Structure formats: structure tokens, C-alpha cells
Amino acid sequence: MKVFLIRHGESEGNAKEIHQSDDISLSDMGKNQAHKLGKRLQNLGIEVLLASPIIRTQESAGIINEYLKVPLIYDPRLREIRRPSEIVGRPLNDPEVMKIKELIKESHHTQYHYSDEENFFDLRTRVQEFLQELNTRDESVVAIVTHGITMRMIMAEMFLGIDFTHELFHKIASFFFVTNTGVTICEHQDKVWHLLSWNDHGHLHC
């Protein structure tokens, strides 16, 4: 199985650099990015499109599928990590927001919750469930439209499995940047995942 992992197009929240709610739409740039990616992917043999049900990913997947014309399935396990309600809609660099996020980060080795957010273990569990089901699908080529943190958790599970910890995941999340509509290609062969490309966004420069 070959898997195209795709981050959604730029959202209005990305453009404003805020922590986003689920109902924030794509910006005009994000829609343009999704059209460019759809054109690029249309002849690559993709058989099914799996997507997060959050609005910015729904919109991205819908535009991409104008070109692919394949079954489009929304899976809540592909949604972005849920942040505490207290920081939603607030700037990424807000000092109070940064303090809350640091407190959560320091507690990721436990089952701690600041309020109603998902922690490391919550996210990891739903990604594990998704990957177990993905491995049972019949398609040979699958595209997945998801979010930056969720994509990096998928990658960590694919390639590190039980060998990665919350500390290592924070390094992956910090250093392995994902561009809006960036494409990462993986292949599952002989029970092992192989990384073919990371964050390819050449279509944005065409």
C-alpha cells in the first residue's frame, strides 16, 4: 500500500496565527493550494480519499476530490489534536497560552489534562486505531487529508511504533515541519513502512 499524507490548505486561522476551532474555513490561498495539489495528484492512481471531518480538511479534501473523483470518507480519528478550550481563538504567541501549553507539555508523560484537551496518550490511541484499520484496507494507493500534529503522530507510529516516547514525539513535532498541502509519501511493504518523500510542496511553486 502506498499512502499520500496531506496537510490541509491554509485556513483563516493559520493566516491569523491563532489556535483554531473546528469551524474555521480555508483562506483563499488555502483553496488555491488545494486546487494546485488536486491537479498534481489526479493521475497517480489514488483509489480512496480519507479525511478529517473538521471544516478546513473537509474543504481541502472536497477540492482535491474534484480532480481525483474517488470515494471520500471522513474519519474523526484523523482530526487535529484537541486543544484546551481556554486557548482556542487566541494568538499562538499569547504569553498565557504559551504558559498553558508548556504546563501540558511538561505533564505529557502522565495522563494529566489541563481541562478538556487531548493529551499525548489520547492522540496516540486514536492514531493507532486508525492505522490498524488502514492496514486492512484493500486499496493499493490511499490519500489522507489531515492536520500537522496528527500527521506527525501517524508518522511516528508508522516508523517507530512502541519505540517512541512523548519526549521523542515533541522533537518530531518541533522539527519536522509540514507545509499547508505538503505531501508525505509512505509505502507499506513486507509488513514494514518506508518513507518515500517528506513534505513535498513543489506544486505551490508552479
pLDDT digits 0-9 by tens, 98-148: 999 999 988 878 899 999 999 999 999 999 999 999 999 999 999 999 999
pLDDT digits 0-9 by tens, 35-61: 999 999 999 999 999 999 999 999 999
Cα–Cα distance, 45 to 83 (Å, whole number): 35
Cα–Cα distance, 75 to 131 (Å, whole number): 12
- Domain extent, residue 33, equals 2-200
Q: What is the pLDDT of residue 54?
A: 98
Residues belonging to the binding site are: 7-14, 56
Residues belonging to the binding site for substrate are: 7-14, 56
List all residues 6 or more positions away from 171 whose beta carbon is below 8 Å from its beta carbon. Answer: none
Domain assignment present for residue 179? The answer is yes
Domain assignment present for residue 124? The answer is yes
Domain assignment present for residue 123? The answer is yes
Q: What is the pLDDT of residue 108?
A: 78
CATH of the domain at 61: 3.40.50.1240
To 10 degrees, what angle do helices 148-159 and 166-175 make?
130
Domain assignment present for residue 205? The answer is no
The domain total for the chain is: 1
Pick from 38, 40, 87: nearest CA to 66: 38
Domain assignment present for residue 18? The answer is yes
Domain assignment present for residue 84? The answer is yes
Instruction: Read off φ and ψ for residue 161, nearest 5 degrees.
Output: 55, -130
| Angle, CA 156 vertex, CA 195 and CA 167 arms, to 5° | 140
3-state secondary structure of 185: strand
Domain assignment present for residue 180? The answer is yes
- Name the pTM for this structure: 0.95
Cα–Cα distance, 97 to 26 (Å, whole number): 23
Cα–Cα distance, 119 to 165 (Å, whole number): 13
Domain assignment present for residue 206? The answer is no
- In 26-60, which positions are buried (b, 16+ CB within 10 angstroms) versus exposed (e)? bbebbbbbbbbbbebbeeeebebbbbbebbbbbbb
Where helices occur in the chain by DSSP H, the ranges are: 12-16, 28-41, 55-68, 95-106, 120-134, 148-159, 166-175
What mean pLDDT do residues 158-171 have? 85
